[in-house]
Amino acid sequence: MLKRFEVENYKNFKDKITVDFAKVGGYQFSMECITNNLIGKMLIYGRNATGKTNLGRAIMDIRENLGLQIVNRTERNCSNADSESNRTKYSYVFQFDGEELRYEYIKEVPKELCYEELWIDNQQIFLCDFMHTHFEFDNLNLIGADTINIDRYMESFNRDEESIDSEESSMYRVPFLRWLIGNGVYREDSIMIKLMDYISNMMFITVGSNFFRPKIVYDNFFEYLEKDNELRNFEIFLNEMGVQCQLELLKLPDGQRQVYFKHNTLVPFFENASSGTIALTNIYRRLIVGKRKASFIYIDEFDAFYHYEMADNLVKYFKNNYPQSQIVMTSHNTNLMTNQLMRPDCLMILSRDGRLTALCDATTRELREGHNLEKMYISGEFVQYE
């Protein structure tokens, strides 16, 4: 699981911002929000333009670094616009079965890797300083990779440098961690396998009220609903969220499929569903259909189209059905700011100056289960942290 994340000089975060999932309070309520002594369910509040979306994208950068998502080479402004430096530093601390793994790297505009290092339980495994061509690979034996052929990586690195000099390259060095995972042979219980499995199942979801457009995605979703009981499961999900309906899936004469609301006359689903129902469908398609074993999910503005009761139901659904997944949600809905649903150490405020503060650390009061957190928030109790 992700124990701590830090990023410095990233977009609107000029200074270092830290998300500490290990900072768990001693509360004995809403225990479903805690998983393996780490924060498992987190809600982030903040004014508009404080960087809630940017924070999620920064956390997901490690997927790009390890080749698990497409590198956006046209994005040239990762660093803060007011900073004199064009380098962005990322730091991840993971916890797997009692072992702690720390991976840090630095990128430079336009997303060129400058530096990376890996530590396990305070022991450095490798260091790659690409800017000064300094490399340390002395402790690869600690992860069972002592027989790996480092010369092959250095040869590929030298070729990359030559192509960069000749302007034939896209200015992108292959991270050594990616090369190490891809070229090593590890035991099934290796921390490297656990790391890659976790990162492979990280997701960033932006909730929208427009149905996904690529026809292949459309068709894939309908094909999925044709499987045994899957249409019924989708129907049950919508009903649990407060959308009372019955659904029917038909295959049309031209071979295409269509979902309908079931009435005396069938009503096409996507042409008539509310924006909130379509947003729920997007969540279902991305999360429940696509990644049933998601390790980490960042859902931006997850309840932007929902009635407060539906948003409440969705948080409960996540807690009940994804107990082992770390889920971070951003919201402006203060109705969710309750101890019955969450807890003060899992409710965060992202300030305009780039600080992330838990409610329990944003007041001199000792917050208890009986406190009305929403009322305190609206009355200005935590205003200095906004």
pLDDT in tens, 212-270: 555 666 678 888 999 889 999 999 999 999 999 999 999 989 888 999 999 999 999 98
User: Tell me, what's the pLDDT at 170?
Assistant: 42
Q: Do residues 157 and 11 share a domain?
A: yes
Q: Do residues 75 and 12 share a domain?
A: yes
Lowest average pLDDT, out of 25-39, 152-166, 240-254, 367-381, goes to: 152-166
User: Tell me, what's the pLDDT at 163?
Assistant: 54
Residue from 90, 94, 143, 148 nearest 115 by CA:
90
User: Of 96 and 147, which is predicted with more confidence?
Assistant: 96
- C-alpha span between 186 and 307 (Å, rounded): 48
Backbone angle region of 317, left / alpha / beta, with phi > 0 → left and psi within -120 to 50 → alpha: alpha
Strands 112-120, 356-358: parallel, antiparallel or unpaired by DSSP?
unpaired
Domain boundary among 235, 250, 274: 274
Query: What is the length of the chain?
Result: 386
User: Tell me, what's the pLDDT at 282?
Assistant: 87
Q: Do residues 9 and 155 share a domain?
A: yes
Query: Which residues have a Cβ under 8 Å from the Cβ of 321 and sit 6 or more positions away?
Result: none
- C-alpha span between 20 and 39 (Å, rounded): 8
Lowest average pLDDT, out of 110-119, 121-130, 358-367, goes to: 110-119
Q: Do residues 95 and 223 share a domain?
A: no
One-letter amino acid of 22 = A
* 285-295: average pLDDT: 79
pLDDT tens profile 87-122: 999 999 999 999 999 999 999 976 789 999 999 999
Task: Determine the distance from the C-alpha atom of residue 187 to the mean position of all C-alpha atoms in its chain, rounded to a whole number.
Answer: 27
In a domain, 177, yes or no: yes
Q: Do residues 78 and 148 share a domain?
A: yes
In a domain, 345, yes or no: no
Domain boundary among 168, 201, 234: 201
Query: pLDDT band at residue 290, thresholds of 50, 70 and 90?
Result: low
Tokens of 136: 């340390």
In which domain, by residue range, is 157 found? 2-23+67-201
Is pLDDT of 58 > 80?
A: yes
User: Tell me, what's the pLDDT at 381?
Assistant: 96
Strands 134-136, 123-129: parallel, antiparallel or unpaired by DSSP?
antiparallel
In a domain, 57, yes or no: no
Q: Do residues 194 and 218 share a domain?
A: no
Query: pLDDT band at residue 167, thresholds of 50, 70 and 90?
Result: very low
pLDDT tens profile 45-55: 999 999 999 99
Contact predicate 41/314, CB 8 Å: no
Q: Do residues 190 and 248 share a domain?
A: no
Q: Do residues 143 and 19 share a domain?
A: yes
In a domain, 383, yes or no: no
Query: Which residues have a Cβ under 8 Å from the Cβ of 277 and sit 6 or more positions away?
Result: 238, 243
Domain boundary among 274, 301, 316: 274
Share of the chain above pLDDT 90, in %: 76
Q: Do residues 191 and 97 share a domain?
A: yes
Is pLDDT of 335 > 80?
A: yes
Q: Do residues 102 and 193 share a domain?
A: yes
Q: Do residues 137 and 77 share a domain?
A: yes
Query: pLDDT band at residue 305, thresholds of 50, 70 and 90?
Result: confident
User: Of 39 and 227, which is predicted with more confidence?
Assistant: 39
In a domain, 44, yes or no: no
Query: pLDDT band at residue 169, thresholds of 50, 70 and 90?
Result: very low
- C-alpha span between 313 and 34 (Å, rounded): 18
Q: Do residues 127 and 231 share a domain?
A: no
pLDDT mean across residues, the chain? 91
In a domain, 247, yes or no: yes
pLDDT tens profile 12-36: 999 999 999 999 999 999 999 999 9
* 310-323: average pLDDT: 95
Share of the chain above pLDDT 70, in %: 91
For the chain, how many structural domains are there in total? 2
In a domain, 159, yes or no: yes
Contact predicate 268/204, CB 8 Å: no
In a domain, 130, yes or no: yes
Bond from prior residue into 110 cis (ω within 30 degrees of 0): yes
